[in-house]
Structure 1
């Protein structure tokens, strides 16, 4: 049986601003197991990146405040740790792949030296061995002529190759957990696919656990084991990839699925768009935060926040539509058609 590597419990992150207190993350709970990929999906501003930065203790205090909760890594709570204590964990046990490789790399230092720095910081090895390992990492992430590339600067690499260098740096100290924060957003579609395939290969070879942050549900289907759907600083649906793609229960998840473009669709079917915009978390709304944008909202949604209802042993959703007294709402037809296409493409139709 797989052991939990990371347990996030009732995490609340606030930010002090001139306008007031922004409640960016509002009671997030999830567990990540060894060798597993968890995707955290949602629109911009839903709290995905704040959650991932909180795990790395990269939230500046002030203005950030760890208001409540625990972040247990291998059973040890990271929140009380000092920056000095966290520096031993960052890069060594938990590493991060950032969204923009150009800002993640130092433009004045050769890429090989940037990889070597991580190895020398966390591993007791001589410089020549660190250099050999850095060259091998460049080779492993698919960079041709790694011996030559070792001595080049970031501006001499393409966007996709720079992201491969960032992945090599993240892997340099053999971390147990890799956090990938929208790692393909700045890349074109072809390169995106290559980077995703590379991450899958790395996980298979190293048994690394991955938290994959994205706004694109299409990326998730072939990447993740489980999915956490975030909205307004909360997880509103949580389950396996099959749970989320083939049996979604939250109207927000329906909206995300419906707004995914289908390149194989030759009909004139329009993309679904979720109306409105996310709430201002300076003043979180009463009741269900998604209610003002939810065409299926019930009266109770505007008064009382729903609990997390259990759909199955692996599947949970935070919506009053799952209450036994709620009216039965069918998933909108355009989303059903998309789900059917996903099943067909995955060979799941009977």
Structure 2
């Protein structure tokens, strides 16, 4: 029996605008296994959130899913009616948004809001819903839950509000939890607490998580696998260790070089030159070519396929073609890999 919880197959999403058709997501495929955390990373506008909103079927009126399938335990949720989809949202797939105040009603006490999330999907009594609400608040670390359940969202800090939203989306023990930049608006200490909370809750209820972020530092602490998106496509996907210590796509190299570290001996951060492309008219070649210092003539002509590096690691760059010249990743990334291999006892210098 397959342990695949969710499978996205060749999804393409576009938006109709006054300027024309924006091809926001282009032929994206990935799978999510039971109990796994898959991080989707990339710059703003790369298609991360649109992909996940397509999974929830919460796209704007001017959006259309032009191709593909989204299979939840084998069922294509793009082919079901809205009434059935409303049952799936929250019950089977739930989403935590970046700003908790967009998910909370400022005029309602938080306890009542969580109770409504429970009774919407479960046939339980008012008393059972209240007990479950208090249990959820305690589970996400809201102390004195009985008293605090009678308070309004504005009476909580940003981190506490995010905890409350997590309690709401976990009310029905969803099979898949999508977390859309849930720590971006929080300070570093609170970010770590929310990540630890998600990891603990995942083990407790055995849910699968899709974690959307632009911060690779966050990914290192939460993900089992990582998908790197650029210009609406997945350009590299693999186990977290493969992406962090053996990246193969120049865009992934740039993202990793952009990460600040404690041992940096410079006052300036590295940034990837240039800007993401205009997706009104996607290039017939590699969309990253104008920003890629290793670009070749073929990059201007043809879009690269996903080359297989291992059973779990793939990257879409012509540098992996057997005819391409050998190109080493930046020195900082080579050093990072050597340190990882030394810690793992795999470094040849240890032999």
Do these two structures clear the TM 0.5 threshold for a shared fold by scoring above it? yes
Distance in 2, matches of 1:187 and 1:2, equals 37
**1:258–1:338 CA contact under 8 A, matched in 2:** no
The 5 Å alignment of 1:1-350 reads 3-60=3-60, 62-262=61-261, 264-268=262-266, 270-340=268-338, 347-348=343-344
2:90 is paired with a residue whose SS is coil
The 1:104/1:110 distance shift into structure 2, 3 A limit, reads same
Distance in 2, matches of 1:2 and 1:81, equals 22
1:264-323 per-position Cα deviation (integer Å, ceiling 9, x unaligned): 215227432100000010111120000000000011000011111000101000000000
In structure 1, the gaps of 5 or more residues are none
The 1:77/1:266 distance shift into structure 2, 3 A limit, reads closer
Distance in 2, matches of 1:222 and 1:184, equals 13
The alpha carbon displacement at 1:336 in A equals: 2.7
TM-score by length of 1: 0.96
TM-score by length of 2: 0.96
The 1:97/1:343 distance shift into structure 2, 3 A limit, reads farther
The 1:131/1:279 distance shift into structure 2, 3 A limit, reads same
Provide the aligned C-alpha RMSD in A. Answer: 1.4
1:180-226 per-position Cα deviation (integer Å, ceiling 9, x unaligned): 00000010110000000000001111111000000011111120111
In structure 2, the gaps of 5 or more residues are 347-351
**2:106–2:153 CA contact under 8 A, matched in 1:** yes
The alpha carbon displacement at 1:80 in A equals: 2.0
The 1:266/1:321 distance shift into structure 2, 3 A limit, reads closer
The alpha carbon displacement at 1:339 in A equals: 4.5
